[in-house]
Structure 1
């Protein structure tokens, strides 16, 4: 028995078939972003107990952070190559499994140097997951979903301290937190493995004309990394993420110290607002996801930077104690949509051919920015004054604005050799 379809009906049927895995992949992506934030929330609460277990000094945490950042940057840098050779699904599955083993390994090793080495492994896994997910979402989904997925990271980094606190209070061990999160990562790796066909084949976008070829996705390109590194627009895009994440982590790192040691703000009040800094990210990104499609990428970024500049200016001015709280809150909710918006706009700035490699480079730059900018801020604060912190922060935001305006100039935004209008990108066309 032979079944025939008209050409137009066949294309429509294939579109419907291809759309079925979409919900499953979206849900798994949300879970994966939560999982990315979980380990980041464990270390701060667990560190006093960890250092007592290994009998190491307070500042030894720098060794673990450096090792993790090194692994993160290395895997992010090479993510474009890995994605083109293995596919998104396999990269995510292997990376989650690697991260899970490293986190559980933290609880089993008898020596501190072994935990530091495992930090490299955990960083390798986290960098590949982060870059892989961001590349996939930028290729297949809209700006609104990108905002909400990154809000899920805020959920993870909020839950992480709760898990660690539960282990310390109920079981009197920091290892419980890493057991739970490590096991969750391995379960997520199994989820990625079981859904490999969805990640690798489930999102081919069909063209408007039935005889045309399906549109090529960002993850389908196999552009040599050396070719990508020769593009000036790529380096501008990388610089954006170095500056942004450096500023983001700087405020999170130094807010409490600035408010309590230099401004005389009550420690309880300062701790509440410093601790809720990441929570404002979650709220900001949820709200941005509601309007991202209508507002567009450029307006989200430029509007966020405007709010950040105003907040930094208010923090420098410091007319009253309450102004500090307002400034920190304004900066937090303003910059929340910038990272996912710039990530979605990668293909606009550098073109589809170079986007996958560039996203990996951008994620590597986040690790470098996290290490360099807050550290430099700390050195200046020690030698000059803590009041240099908001001034430095304002300078970074001004630099970020300048680089962004340079990066979005039309001649620097080739998409397959041509400039693709922003409205067209936002609408998924």
Structure 2
């Protein structure tokens, strides 16, 4: 009888540990890696133009193919995740990133480099989807906190990537990413298949009865929430420097303020970790949306604009990881839905800056805070709507 109890206890303990400690650390390193990889393409443009004789628009195709591969990777790995293990999903993704990074570094011509960027993007999408999904369920009641820790590593990588390019050049930088990707394949052994039990396992919307319509509305709500927030995130990052210069700041101050904005996104994800242990994801996201909107309104005051944009970075930081935790608890088909919202966020990040550019052409640079405030206000409405939907039982 005692042995039976011990076996049961061991079984429960096994289910409670989706990640071993070394695998958790390696996963965080993996997010540093994908943050660095995404950030390498922009600073590599001058060297790529000289190496392959490219126009600016042609050189920019590297990042476009990377993002295209990322969206395809999210959807493809989501489609096969039920048929392969968590370890196989991540190992395959790291292998694709290794092949893509090495291919981009040593490609003899530009078409092969673009193919390598797409290949690396597939692996990038697999890691982005896989680790976000597994962290959303892999740490029990601490999953929201760990998601924020994980995504903060992406910001660290995004800071390190350009520095790496400046120090060693694009060939060695992409080559180093390829080597690290290959090494991380060896660190996937500590990832198991069963998610831990949490104290909030009852989803707010059930898949039985007539709940299909409710589930569709919840998914649409999360897609809208992510697209709007990524539009604000990319919009501030893309248009803050131009707006600050227009209202009287120097180019140096504008560039520095934009760097602070991205830095605050990383800091905010660390700062929210203890908060996630006390408050629900939906409450945190409501405060974030309200704070973002207030900061963007503050950016209408020229002298306060740099500080206001930094505040936007702080408030928007927890949205992506914390929203995934809320999605997992509020929607029964969280695995499939998680892939869709991650893919939507990638598409939104690419589409938002040029679409905002159309609005800016019509209304002027001074309207940047107004346009972003509209998007942020809409994300606040989407958050409130989602709270009502996820608290409403299925019919």
Deviations 1:193-222 (A, max 9, x none): xx0xx3234x453699xxxxxx999xxxxx
Partner of 2:207: none
Choose from 181, 184, 190 the match for 1:185.
181
Matches within 5 A, 1:38-53: 38-53=36-51
CA contact (8 A) 1:314 1:327 kept: yes
Q: Shift in Å at residue 283 of structure 1?
A: 0.8
Q: Shift in Å at residue 408 of structure 1?
A: 2.4
Matches within 5 A, 1:356-371: 356-371=335-350
Choose from 298, 306, 313 the match for 2:290.
306
Choose from 221, 245, 262 the match for 2:230.
245
Q: Shift in Å at residue 329 of structure 1?
A: 0.9
Task: Tell me the distance in 1 between the aligned counterparts of 2:392 and 2:3.
Answer: 40
Q: Shift in Å at residue 7 of structure 1?
A: 4.1
TM-score normalized with structure 1 length: 0.82
Q: 1:302 to 1:229 in 2, by over 3 A?
A: closer
TM-score normalized with structure 2 length: 0.89
Task: Tell me the distance in 2 between the aligned counterparts of 1:228 and 1:58.
Answer: 46
Partner of 1:86: 84
Task: Tell me the distance in 2 between the aligned counterparts of 1:307 and 1:392.
Answer: 16
Aligned residue pairs total 382
CA RMSD of aligned residues (A): 2.6
CA contact (8 A) 1:349 1:407 kept: no
Indicate the SS of the match to 1:154: helix
Deviations 1:67-118 (A, max 9, x none): 2222211221233322111122111110111012111111222222222222
Indicate the SS of the match to 2:54: coil
For structure 2, the 5+ residue unaligned runs are 204-211
Question: Does residue 1:155 correspond to 2:156, yes or no?
Answer: yes
Deviations 1:29-61 (A, max 9, x none): 211111121112212222211122111112324
CA contact (8 A) 1:100 1:182 kept: yes
Task: Tell me the distance in 2 between the aligned counterparts of 1:80 and 1:112.
Answer: 30
Question: Does residue 1:330 correspond to 2:311, yes or no?
Answer: yes
CA contact (8 A) 1:237 1:349 kept: no
CA contact (8 A) 2:98 2:181 kept: yes
Indicate the SS of the match to 1:345: helix
Indicate the SS of the match to 2:108: coil
Partner of 2:9: 12
Matches within 5 A, 1:94-173: 94-141=92-139, 142-167=143-168, 173=169
Q: 1:19 to 1:234 in 2, by over 3 A?
A: closer
For structure 1, the 5+ residue unaligned runs are 168-172, 209-214, 218-226, 419-429
